[in-house]
Each structure stands twice: as C-alpha cells, then as structure tokens.
Amino acid sequence: MTTPTKPPVVCAGVIVADHLCTPISHLPTAGELVHSEELILNIGGCAANAAVVLSKLGVGSTVCGRVGDDFFGRYVAETLASHGVDSRGLSIDHSRATSQSLIVNVRGEDRRFIHSFGANGGFSVDEIDRALATRPKVFYLGGLLILPGLDPEGLAGRFAGASADGVTIVLDVAIPGPGDHLRHLRHVLPFVDVFLPNTDEATLILGEPDPTRQALAFRDLGAKTVVVTRGERGSIVVSDTMRARLGAYPIDYVDGTGGGDSFDAGYIAGLIEGLPELECLKLASAVGASCVRAVGTTAGIFTREEAARFIEAHEIAVEPF
C-alpha cells in the first residue's frame, strides 16, 4: 500500500462561501430589480482561495480552518476535495454557521461586500498546532486581524517554533476597519518570512499612505521579506536581497475578488519551486492578474503552464530603489 504524499503547504485562516453577481449596470434603488447575467456560488476566504489556486498551479496543500455544520460548510468541503485539496484540517463548528459573503459587482466600480463572520470566529491556535505538527515546507496564514481566536502572543510562539523546525511562514492580513492593529503585528512579524499586505491594509495598520515607506516599516518590525501589493499599480518588495517597485501585468479586469489571495498563492508556488525572488514575484503577479479576469476567486486562474507562457509573453517593470 502506497503512503499518500504529505502536501508541502498548509493554508490556514479565513474560509467563506461567496455569493457573487456578474457585473451589473448600477446598484438598484429601493424596490428596483437590476438584471445580472449570472449569480454564482463560489468558495472564498484567504485560506480556501490560496489552497485552490495552489492546486491549479500543481502544488499540494492542506486547508486549516472552520466551517459550520450546514449546507455551505459541506459545499466548501466538497469544492476543496474536487480541486484535490486535503481538507483534513477543516474543523466543523457546531455552534456557528459557515461564514458567507455577498459580493456585488458594478461595472466600473470596486466591489461591495456584505459579510457574516460565522465559524471563522472560533478558529484557534490549537488548530494551528495540529497543522504545524505535519511540518509543512510553507505555512500560510491568511486573514490575521479578523480572526479573534488567534491571540498574538500565542501565535508568535507557534511561528517561532515552526521557524525553528525549518517551516517558511507566509502571512497576510484582513482589516475590519480602523484600530490598533500594529499592537498585534509587533508580536508576530519577527517570525514571519514573507508578509504580503495590500497598501490599503498597510495604511490602516501604520497610518502611512506611501507604499514604499509601508514596506520599509514592516521590514523594520521584523518581517524578512515584505511585499506590499497595489492592484493594477503593481507591488513594492523589500528584503535582504531586493528593494524594488514592480509594475503589473496587463489584463482585462472583470472582478477583483480573490486577487490578493491568488498573488499570495503564486508567490508560495514560486517558493516551493525554489525560484529566485524576482521570479516568485513575477509568478505571483501573473497568477493574481489571471484571477481578476473572471467572476469569483478561482475561475480565471492560470495553470502553471499558462502562467509560464503569460510571463514569457509579457514584460513587467522592475525599478530598484
């Protein structure tokens, strides 16, 4: 009997069932019906999105997170399984419903969200302990700062232990609004190998709107590599070996949902392949771009071969500083 291969990546954190509309002409007024070509049920949340994207790129992963004992929890589990994602780290919360988001796309405008937090509220460091016990090559936590069960000091201890075991720690955040978010990050960033906030999140954390200064500040707080993403304006990277502003690949934008998670997954795939830092960033940018060309978090994602051809066919600006 063949022993199953252990997935090299654990994707932990927020898990959601998304309800999306294809882009509509305008928001309806009270009592008005506005036509959408399609209404879509899709997997969502940082951990689930990254895991599915990694699978499409040929990288195995285990999901670590929580869903409710309900239809949407079963939908999430079945969708993960259909993409070849190991969902043994998925816990069933019998007291909370599966988290859901209603995402409204209006042509020419940014998305609008209505969200129920649900089972994500029960996600704890105990579940992270179980996931780290497998000693993956990469541990990715997506959605820190909206996961109340993760106390920063406890999480820092887990990260420190995992780093000592040779696990690469990749962290992304989600911001519920203004608050003292830096207090939480001060504990964990010294144990983070790659920190991947977007510039809007970084502004809320630091009170600093300039993305270059944001990246330098997070680096000063201890993160080894910082990549501040900026959507269609590219990204900023600061690390031991690189300080640069990168552009973005051209793409026909349809829906931005999941673009940041896809960028994260592309970067992680590059780490697993052992790519140089710039090549990890190119792969991350290409995969993030592929996400926004279709409605939903995973429908438009390149395969690894498609990403390679796309990168070969397009230049991306790199400006050292």
Handedness of CA 5, 66, 281, 104 (dihedral sign): positive
Residue 230 in domain: yes
pLDDT for the residue numbered 108: 87
Residue 99 in domain: no
Q: What 8-state DSSP symbol labels residue 258?
A: T
Specify burial of residue 69 (Cβ count, 10 A radius: 0-12, 13-18, 19+).
middle
CATH number at residue 221: 3.40.1190.20
With a CB cutoff of 8 Å and minimum separation 6, the contacts of 170 are 138, 139, 140, 141, 192, 193, 194, 196, 264, 267, 268, 271
Q: What 8-state DSSP symbol labels residue 221?
A: T
Residue 204 in domain: yes
Residue 179 in domain: yes
Structural domain harbouring 295: 9-14+46-70+121-320
**Contact call for residues 224 and 163 (beta carbons, < 8 A):** no
Residue 248 in domain: yes
pLDDT for the residue numbered 96: 97
**Contact call for residues 80 and 52 (beta carbons, < 8 A):** yes
What's the Cα-to-Cα distance from 61 to each of 49, 127, 312, rounded to whole Å? Answer: 11, 16, 27
- The CB-side HSE value for 38 (13 A sphere, CA atoms) comes to 7
pLDDT for the residue numbered 2: 42
pLDDT for the residue numbered 128: 93
Structural domains of the chain, count = 1
Helix/strand/coil for 147: coil
Residue 23 in domain: no
Residue 33 in domain: no
pLDDT < 70 regions, the chain = 1-4
CA pair distance 187, 183, nearest whole angstrom: 7
Residue 107 in domain: no
